[in-house]
Chains A and B, each alone.
Chain A
């Protein structure tokens, strides 16, 4: 009961905060809201016995990425952005689609039957700690995807450099 209450609070807060992030006209306000959002997500991970993910969430997203965002926002002169209307065009269409999607998904999930859980039950994870279990599985069973992820990161770096830094020859 207690756990459910916490989940409901966190889930609701995450949705509301997400909406707030994209509706603030002041980018700095958006950023701050996003920070709060990230903390809520981290809290959600904690309730799922995923303390490693929670820590990563706080350190990487809240600590690094958001700070970078803030730098960018503060470096750029975004005065115009603050007065511009955020919603242009047919936003009711989007709301309609989203709500419709929500309804049908919720309805179809009524019959959801959870499948069998694997070897990493909550007890195992608690006993071994999340960090250790994650490390084990990542470097054994999921070695291959892990390597692929490294390629993705590499491409992201190359992309960032190409798009941002490379001088155009003319």
Chain B
């Protein structure tokens, strides 16, 4: 009989522990804080503190259930960046939506905690729990506008389909557990290699079930159906958050599970992911064209971007994965930036979610239009923005691994995507303002947009830093 006589070594776990404790403290403190801006500020401080602890954390804990390495740290950086940016663009917005509660920020922190656990998961059980922690917080956040039926609907849909996807994940887990007798990722890989069951159909079944579950999280077609409805209905700031952090977390576990546990099956699962990636890019880019609501359009765009990022995973190897991570990092800035501009159009009594609301924005609000232009260019992948750099490395990684045709397909879909991104630009710059559009601005919002814009342009001009960081991060994988 084993009795725990001493504290397990948790130094690797410090960022998560700090995050948990501080998030709980914030939850308590919020009771005494009247001005919720302070709660938001504290949430950012917490993110900064966690970021500080992130630098020193590495190693494993709890007999390999928790892994802190470069890979996980890089993803955690993405999560924290998206958290901070989302909090900044939320402050004014949730006031306008009159849901200015402190729990909003606590839930964001808990959701981020879930993502961090996912990125560090060395065991499918922990992975699943992290995923549920993240998702549960998001279900609540998606339905945060209680008075808005669309928000309620988004929340419920996300919850039901999320539960459905979890069932796939659990089924896959049970399958792989039955086959290998373990849920530890490394042990699974070891068992599969040692016992020659790697090509057992049941293993492939399990792989496919994982693809379904993770594909749901990253909104890859045909498991993307929830995304447009949820993105549209959820509060815009939550949509911004949701389209970046959880997607990155989905990719983090995708990479972790497939490269660790199923590393020996790369050819097989790449064969599954290639058609999915193409379908995802097709569905995202083609359906985005016929949207009239900008949040919905960005939802499809976010589906399409999942397709691009999948190319990095398919290419595999250090380069491919690094290019995927690099892309997700860049995507965090450009997408939250775009949503940041969308949020600015939301004022009391005006939704500002229709694409036609952007007509003539350059005349009435040149700065906002210019920012949107930068983000749209970046999402399209026009140099010298970061979006170009991200795509460039992805496609080059694909070419280097012999998937030239796949890169070519992706380029074609990128070209199609120019149609709907640049349509926004065209509306802003070439049409006359239809109605007076006011902007709701605030200092934090301005900071978020400034940071996002600078990042998009800076990474576009000086891309080597991030890609080198990602490559170094993958090296310790």
Direct contact of A and B (CB under 8 A): yes
| Chain A interface (Cβ < 8 Å from any Cβ of B) | 105, 108-118, 136, 139-145, 148-149, 151-152, 154-156, 158-159, 161-163, 166, 168-170
Stretch from B77-85, B176-184, B313-321 at the A interface: B176-184
Q: Known: A140-B4, A142-B125, A156-B136. Contact between A162 and B201, CB under 8 A?
A: no
A156 / chain B contacts, CB cutoff of 8 Å:
136
What's the minimum C-beta distance from B340 to chain A, rounded to whole angstroms? 24
A155 close to B110 (CB less than 8 A): yes
What's the minimum C-beta distance from B333 to chain A, rounded to whole angstroms? 27
Stretch from B100-108, B243-251, B420-428 at the A interface: B100-108
- A99 CA to B180 CA in the complex, in Å? 27
Question: Any chain A CB within 8 A of the CB of B215?
Answer: no
State how many residues of chain B have any CB contact under 8 Å with chain A: 53
Question: Any chain A CB within 8 A of the CB of B430?
Answer: no
A111 close to B147 (CB less than 8 A): no
Give the residue among A108, A118, A141 with the most B Cβ atoms within 10 A.
A108
B63 close to A112 (CB less than 8 A): no
Q: Known: A152-B133, A158-B103. Contact between A112 and B179, CB under 8 A?
A: yes
List, sorted by A's number, 27 A–B pairs whose CB atoms are closer than 8 Å: A105-B205, A109-B205, A111-B200, A111-B202, A112-B179, A113-B179, A114-B178, A115-B177, A115-B178, A115-B182, A117-B181, A118-B181, A144-B65, A145-B125, A148-B133, A151-B114, A155-B107, A155-B137, A159-B137, A159-B139, A162-B144, A163-B140, A163-B143, A163-B155, A168-B99, A168-B147, A170-B98
What's the minimum C-beta distance from A88 to chain B, rounded to whole angstroms? 15
- A158 CA to B217 CA in the complex, in Å? 23
Question: Any chain A CB within 8 A of the CB of B352?
Answer: no
Question: Any chain A CB within 8 A of the CB of B35?
Answer: no
Question: Any chain A CB within 8 A of the CB of B439?
Answer: no
- A115 CA to B191 CA in the complex, in Å? 9
Residue of B nearest to A107 (CB): B201
A151 close to B110 (CB less than 8 A): yes
- A37 CA to B100 CA in the complex, in Å? 42
Residue of A nearest to B24 (CB): A154
A112 / chain B contacts, CB cutoff of 8 Å:
175, 178-179, 200, 202
A149 close to B136 (CB less than 8 A): no
Question: Any chain A CB within 8 A of the CB of B41?
Answer: no
B66 / chain A contacts, CB cutoff of 8 Å:
144
Residue of A nearest to B97 (CB): A168
- A149 CA to B133 CA in the complex, in Å? 8
Contact with A along B130-160 (1 / 0, CB 8 A): 1011001101100110110000000100000
What's the minimum C-beta distance from A161 to chain B, rounded to whole angstroms? 8
Q: Which 9 A-B pairs have the closest CB atoms?
A: A159-B140, A115-B181, A108-B201, A144-B62, A148-B129, A112-B202, A115-B180, A116-B181, A108-B205
B123 / chain A contacts, CB cutoff of 8 Å:
145
B191 / chain A contacts, CB cutoff of 8 Å:
115
- A145 CA to B118 CA in the complex, in Å? 12
| Chain B interface (Cβ < 8 Å from any Cβ of A) | 1-4, 8, 20, 27, 61-63, 65-66, 98-101, 103, 106-107, 110, 113-114, 117, 123, 125-126, 129-130, 132-133, 136-137, 139-140, 143-144, 146-147, 155, 175, 177-182, 191, 197, 200-202, 204-205
- A28 CA to B137 CA in the complex, in Å? 30
B4 / chain A contacts, CB cutoff of 8 Å:
139-140, 143
Q: Known: A144-B61, A166-B103. Contact between A149 and B202, CB under 8 A?
A: no
- A168 CA to B148 CA in the complex, in Å? 12
- A139 CA to B103 CA in the complex, in Å? 30
A163 / chain B contacts, CB cutoff of 8 Å:
140, 143, 146, 155
A158 close to B107 (CB less than 8 A): yes
B129 / chain A contacts, CB cutoff of 8 Å:
145, 148-149, 152
B175 / chain A contacts, CB cutoff of 8 Å:
112
Q: Known: A142-B125, A151-B113. Contact between A113 and B98, CB under 8 A?
A: no
What's the minimum C-beta distance from A81 to chain B, rounded to whole angstroms? 15
Apart from A116-B181, A143-B8, A152-B133, what 6 extra A-B contacts exist at CB < 8 Å? A112-B202, A115-B191, A139-B4, A141-B63, A151-B114, A159-B136
Residue of B nearest to A159 (CB): B140
A140 / chain B contacts, CB cutoff of 8 Å:
2-4
- A110 CA to B200 CA in the complex, in Å? 10
Give the residue among B136, B147, B179, B180 with the most A Cβ atoms within 10 A.
B136
- A81 CA to B204 CA in the complex, in Å? 42
Residue of A nearest to B145 (CB): A168
A113 close to B197 (CB less than 8 A): yes
B2 close to A136 (CB less than 8 A): yes
B146 / chain A contacts, CB cutoff of 8 Å:
163, 166, 168
A158 close to B140 (CB less than 8 A): yes
Give the residue among B140, B177, B204 with the most A Cβ atoms within 10 A.
B140
B99 / chain A contacts, CB cutoff of 8 Å:
168
A113 / chain B contacts, CB cutoff of 8 Å:
179, 197, 200, 202
Q: Known: A113-B197, A139-B4, A143-B4. Contact between A169 and B137, CB under 8 A?
A: no
B2 / chain A contacts, CB cutoff of 8 Å:
136, 140
B98 close to A145 (CB less than 8 A): no
- A155 CA to B201 CA in the complex, in Å? 38
Residue of A nearest to B152 (CB): A163
Residue of B nearest to A104 (CB): B205
B133 / chain A contacts, CB cutoff of 8 Å:
148, 151-152, 155
